[in-house]
Structure 1
Amino acid sequence: MNIQQAKEQIRQAVMIYLMKDEYGNYRIPLERQRPVFLIGAPGIGKTAIMEQIARELDISLVSYSMTHHTRQSALGLPFISRKSYQGEACNVSEYTMSEIIASMYENMEKSGKKEGILFLDEINCVSETLGPSMLQFLQYKTFGNHQIPRGWVVVTAGNPPEYNRSVHEFDIVTLDRLKVLKAEPDYATWKTYAEKQGIHKAIQSYLDINPDDFYSIETTIDGKNYVTARGWEDLSEAIFLYEEQSFPVDEMLIGQYLHHPRIAAEFATYYQLYRKYREDYQVRRILDGTAESQIVARAGKAPFDERITLLGLLTEALLPEIRQNVREEDCLKGLHAGLAEIGAGIQEKNARSVSELLTEAMQKEEQKLEELTAANGITDDERLRRQYPIAFAGECLKDFRLEKPAGSDKEFEIVKRIFSGRVSSMKEETSRISREISNVFDFVSRAFGDGNEMLLLVTELTVNDYSVRFLSAHGNEEYFRYHKKFMLSEREKELSREVNAI
């Protein structure tokens, strides 16, 4: 199975383990809840899907890599306790609470969530001294004398032995206590993830042309050469920031993330070509609708690889702008609801000032942000939606101090002025982006007609969550025309296949 299929299997397991009867008892007792054991090559996204599951189910997540633990840190430290049995006093060895279990209780206090996932990575690489205790944990969910809290589901992960010499293969007794899933690297699945995460288009375009380079681990006489999904994603983040600072993105940098000489060298060459095309095709002028006729002619005569790269450059320029605009609109909608409450509040008898209400709203958002962060259950979009009103309130309070308005009504006028300014800026950006999308469709139509390049452009805008939301909200005649055309074309092909089969 691929990593997305594994995610769905784990999500369903967590859901049934957390199901309760009418009295609030878990329908599957903790002792009978088989921990999930996800086996997958390094860097395919095991930790990432656990974060996604926790967010989607609105529960906490505590993660540990078991290779970092000794028997003492996992089980707790021994101490002497004085006890009395049948009237006779004696010294007894007991254990302090496990660091792992203690962190779960700390998470519950900070996040306010009583249910969660305990994710133990690299569980098949534990030290020999800890191995026997892990068998007890997998069946009884206890470290030492302490059991994990009720409402917490255990998910474990590990690498296959061919990827890690520290792996200890589990015996039948251990495996019989686990729900075992095996995930394989799959570029098609990762591409969907890459679109949502905004992975650098140079990487996506390169892998579209060279999908076999997505994941590779091989042993040579000089050692292991490897490239993983994690490596591509981390390289993407580095490239964005290096470009922002005008630092060179060369093979020396790329080789720090792609530990495979051939792939690192070929991607470095492709990246330089990618940058050259960015300048040669004057991408910004295409978006502005001022591309010269010779640029259109060159694109029409370009080989397939160059066309794919050009489409990547166009969507690379469009999608971040669309993402920023959609997120800004989301934040303003949420902020509008909050400001409406403040506006109604200042009309009440004995109402507090706008300053007090804004300060209180800031504190609530900061508290909620702290709880969500503690639970490891917050996306980048959710974090922005929480931070946005905090920053807005800070700007308003700053203007209050500068302008010293007399009374709540005057304070609220300042609030509305700042809010209206942000809305106007957002709407101007929306109009500009809509024009850019139309200009891109016009360029692709003039250069390539209604061929595969147009289909690829429509597909790129359709699979990206932000562009779909933008186009659904604000429309675009060219997009919907081509989308309808290609969808009908696919249906005609499907019908033709069915007829031929009959």
Structure 2
Amino acid sequence: MNIKRAKQEIINTVRAYLAKDEFGAYRIPAVRQRPILLMGPPGIGKTQIMEQIANELDIDLVAYTITHHTRQSALGLPFIEHRSFGGREYAVTEYTMSEILAAVWQAMERSGRKEGILFLDEVNCISETLAPMMLQFLQCKTFGNQRLPEGWIIAAAGNPPEYNKSVREFDVVTLDRVKRIDVKEDYAAWKEYALRRGIHGAILSYLDIRKDHFYKVEAGPEGMQFVTARGWEDLSEILHTYEALGLTADREVVGQYLQMPAIAKDFANYLELYAKYRRVYRVEEILNGSWEALRARELAAAPFDEKLSVLGLVLSRLNESARAAWQLDQLAGLVHESLLRVKAALGQTPAAQILTAELAGLDRQIAAKKEAGSADRQGMQLLNQAARTLEGYLHTLELEAPAEPFDRLKELFAETLEQRAAAADETGSYLANAFAFLDESLPGSQELVIFATELTTGFYTSWYIETFGCEAYFAHNKDLLFADTENALLGEIAAARAAQNGTAGEELTL
């Protein structure tokens, strides 16, 4: 199965394992909670989906690459304990707590949550001395004489032997005690993640044309050559940063991430073309509605690959705009929740004091995410933005000392809502202008169908259309697909949005 389906399977399993009966006991006892074993090629996102699952289910995650551990760090260090048996005293070997189990207890103390996932990566590449301990842990959920806390689920990941020479085969006894999920690389599934993650537009545009270059592992004359999803994502990070710093990523830079020379060369050449198309077609002018007629004629006469690349440029910019609107929507929701708590406590505590407490709560959440090494960068950004917004509100109250502090807070919040509305209006204008440009350059074409389809599959653009609507989008779907698809498309978009809690359709009042 692909990584998207695997993620949902794991979510369902975790929910089932953590479900409780009317007496508060787990419906599936720990002894029947098989560890989840995720097997698949390296670099396709096995670790990342565990982080996403923990965030979505609001449980803890402790992740270890087990190949970094020795028998001592996994099992603990031995020490002598004296015990009495049958009236006689004996020296008995005990063990200090495993470093891994200690990390679980520390995570519980830090977050206050009692449930979580212990994720062990590269579990089938462990050393010979550690193998018996790991098999015991998978089978019995214990390291030595110490057990994994109740409410914690074991998930492990490994690579098939064709990708790793040090792989150890599990025996039937072990495999009969795990829930095995085999996952394969799949560009379509990864693209959904990539659009939400903000992967560089050049990468998505290139892979739309060269889907067979998404994932490859081959033996070459100079050793293994490979291109993985992890490589594309890390390359995206460096491309974004290089652009911000005014640097150029050439073939040498690309080859440091895509370790297959032919694909690295091909993408580096495409990256130059992508930069050229950005200069020639001036996407900002298209979205602002101020393009020159020459640009539309040039696109109409361009080869298919060039048209797809320009569509990629436009879609990438639309995705950025819709993402900004989504972030302001989420920010408004977070600030609204804080202000409702301020309102509820008024009369007993001054507004400034309540705001200070709200800020302290946000700071604790940010610190906890940092300490846990959370990879949820977007969540961190939202928390930081919310804290900065509330700090601004608090500073205004302290500076102005208004007679009615909450009325002033309502005015400040109205300004935040205006920013959200302005971002939504800008995205709507961009969408309308993009369709107008494509109508002029590529009327009734398959490229327009592709463009509308990509808007549907993109998380942020689909969220925007479902929340605010887009007349041009639905008009083109009716014209190009020759059917009244609006309801069906809205259903697809609503399903895509179901995983997040947007507030843009709500009237946020205080």
**Could you state the TM-score of these two structures normalised by the residue count of structure 1?**
0.91
Partner of 2:11: 11
Partner of 2:358: 361
Partner of 1:499: none
Worse-matched range after superposition: 279-288 or 367-376: 367-376
Partner of 2:128: 128
CA distance 1:97–1:322, shift in 2 (3 Å): same
Q: Secondary structure at the match of 2:478?
A: helix
By how many angstroms is 1:395 displaced? 1.7
By how many angstroms is 1:424 displaced? 2.8
Q: Is the 8 A contact 1:318 1:437 kept in 2?
A: yes
One-letter identity of the residue aligned with 1:361: E
Q: Does 1:85 align with 2:85?
A: yes
Alignment of 1:486-501 (within 5 A): 486=480, 488-489=482-483
By how many angstroms is 1:475 displaced? 2.4
2-structure distance, mates of 1:435, 1:97: 60
Partner of 1:390: 387
One-letter identity of the residue aligned with 2:223: G
Q: Is the 8 A contact 1:112 1:371 kept in 2?
A: no
Q: Secondary structure at the match of 1:61?
A: strand
1-structure distance, mates of 2:130, 2:254: 38
Q: Is the 8 A contact 2:328 2:419 kept in 1?
A: no
By how many angstroms is 1:40 displaced? 0.5
1-structure distance, mates of 2:26, 2:374: 23
Q: Is the 8 A contact 1:51 1:376 kept in 2?
A: no
Q: Secondary structure at the match of 1:224?
A: strand
Partner of 1:459: 453
By how many angstroms is 1:329 displaced? 2.2
One-letter identity of the residue aligned with 2:123: I
Q: Which runs of 5+ in 1 are unaligned?
A: 492-502
Q: Which runs of 5+ in 2 are unaligned?
A: 486-510
Partner of 1:46: 46
Partner of 2:316: 316
Worse-matched range after superposition: 321-330 or 415-424: 415-424
2-structure distance, mates of 1:14, 1:412: 43
Q: Is the 8 A contact 1:59 1:375 kept in 2?
A: no
Q: Secondary structure at the match of 1:38?
A: strand
2-structure distance, mates of 1:345, 1:171: 60
Partner of 1:441: 435
Q: Does 1:468 align with 2:462?
A: yes
Partner of 1:28: 28
Q: Is the 8 A contact 2:332 2:420 kept in 1?
A: no
Q: Is the 8 A contact 2:283 2:313 kept in 1?
A: yes
Q: Secondary structure at the match of 1:83?
A: strand
Alignment of 1:397-436 (within 5 A): 397-401=394-398, 403=399, 405-406=400-401, 408-409=403-404, 411-412=405-406, 414-436=408-430
One-letter identity of the residue aligned with 2:443: G
2-structure distance, mates of 1:239, 1:79: 52
Partner of 2:472: 478
1-structure distance, mates of 2:85, 2:30: 31
By how many angstroms is 1:414 displaced? 4.8
2-structure distance, mates of 1:258, 1:336: 44
2-structure distance, mates of 1:174, 1:236: 39
2-structure distance, mates of 1:433, 1:188: 25
2-structure distance, mates of 1:209, 1:407: 59
Partner of 2:167: 167
Worse-matched range after superposition: 166-175 or 17-26: 17-26
Q: Secondary structure at the match of 2:264?
A: helix
CA distance 1:422–1:28, shift in 2 (3 Å): closer
Q: Secondary structure at the match of 1:275?
A: helix
Higher RCO by CA contacts (8 Å cutoff, separation 6 or greater): 1
2-structure distance, mates of 1:425, 1:6: 38
One-letter identity of the residue aligned with 2:389: F
Alignment of 1:321-360 (within 5 A): 321-343=321-343, 345-346=345-346, 348=347, 351-360=348-357
One-letter identity of the residue aligned with 2:351: V
Q: Does 1:250 align with 2:230?
A: no
**Could you state the TM-score of these two structures normalised by the residue count of structure 2?**
0.90
By how many angstroms is 1:82 displaced? 2.2
